[in-house]
Amino acid sequence: MVRSVFMEDLDAFTYRERVADGAPVLIPVGSIEQHGPHMPLSVDVLLSKAMAGAVAEHTGSLVAAPIVYGYKSQQRSGGGNHLTGSTSLDAATVIATAKSLVLELARHGVRKIAFVNGHYENYQFLYEGVDLALGELRLAGTQDVRVMLMSYWDFVDDDAIAELYPDGFPGWDLEHGGVLETSLMLLLHPALVAMDRVADIPPAVLPTYDLLPARPEITPPSGCLSSGAAATADKGQVLLDRASAGMVTAIRSEFGM
């Protein structure tokens, strides 16, 4: 029998046993989005999956196959969806996907579900999909499904931020392709990072509003919103440890484990 927290690795019989034992299921949610010249399009998929894997090890959870595509990249948090390479879903599709997966896991008998989000723009549409699914389950008489929504960077505490950003923290929205994601990639997937291609730029200065259609000139040419030059695998380890520990605590507390 394969020992893995990843649902994709398990046979259906082992999966059913784990679900019958009450294992929570974590759903990583990513995007296919440009992350500058130094990292692959799949960063948000790889990092949400790794975060969910680390959390699963400490909570007896399983990790569902990730939602690979995400909601449209925005100029103020991901460079914008006008950039070639970024390949996104519309909101209705993200909502429907989240809803379908909650209903499918509930059909399996899963009662504790957590989305582990790795792409800023997804969050509210996941929320809506979960809300619609729970409404449908309630009407069908199923009242005991509980779903958590987490974006992993929200679990990096102020102490870690002070340690990791001695020259000042640009804010999570401007972290696109910056120290956070580059450090985690250096730790988890170093072969996919080209540090010699990092655009060492000051944090982008963006308006406090959106205007559509996008104005390509306000996104830095690299597509990154801050520099990843100060990224290291050691910082990635701090980020992985702090964020996963925070999510473990939240899951244990909310799911009564």
Catalytic-role residue among 8, 17, 21, 33: 33
Binding piece for Zn ion, criterion CB under 5 A, among 37-45, 95-103, 140-148, 204-212? 37-45
- 33 belongs to the catalytic site: yes
Least separation in angstroms between residue 139's CB and Zn ion is 36
Q: How open is the CA angle 126-132-134, to the nearest 5 degrees? A: 100
35 or 99: whose CB is closer to Zn ion? 35
Show the tokens assigned to 49.
Answer: 């999956």
Active-site residue (options: 58, 82, 121, 175) = 121
Distances (CA, A) of 34 to 176, 217, 223, 238: 9, 16, 7, 25
Sequence length of the chain is 257
- For Zn ion, the closer of residues 44 and 238 by Cβ is 44
Total of residues contacting Zn ion (CB under 5 A): 2
Q: Which is nearer to Zn ion, 44 or 130 (CB)?
A: 44
Is the backbone of residue 203 left (phi > 0), alpha (psi -120 to 50) or beta?
Answer: beta
- Which of the following is catalytic: 8, 21, 44, 159? 44
DSSP for residue 62:
E
Please name the residues in contact with 170: beta carbons below 8 A apart, sequence gap of 6 or more: 178, 203, 225, 226
Quick check: is 104 catalytic?
no
Among 18, 28, 39, 44, binds Zn ion (CB under 5 A): 44
Residue 175 near Zn ion by CB under 5 A = no
For residues 24 and 80, which CB has a smaller minimum distance to Zn ion in the complex? 80
DSSP strands (E only) in the chain: 25-29, 62-63, 112-117, 146-151
Residues that bind Zn ion (CB under 5 A): 43-44
The residues annotated with a catalytic role in the active site are 33, 35, 44, 119, 121, 176, 181
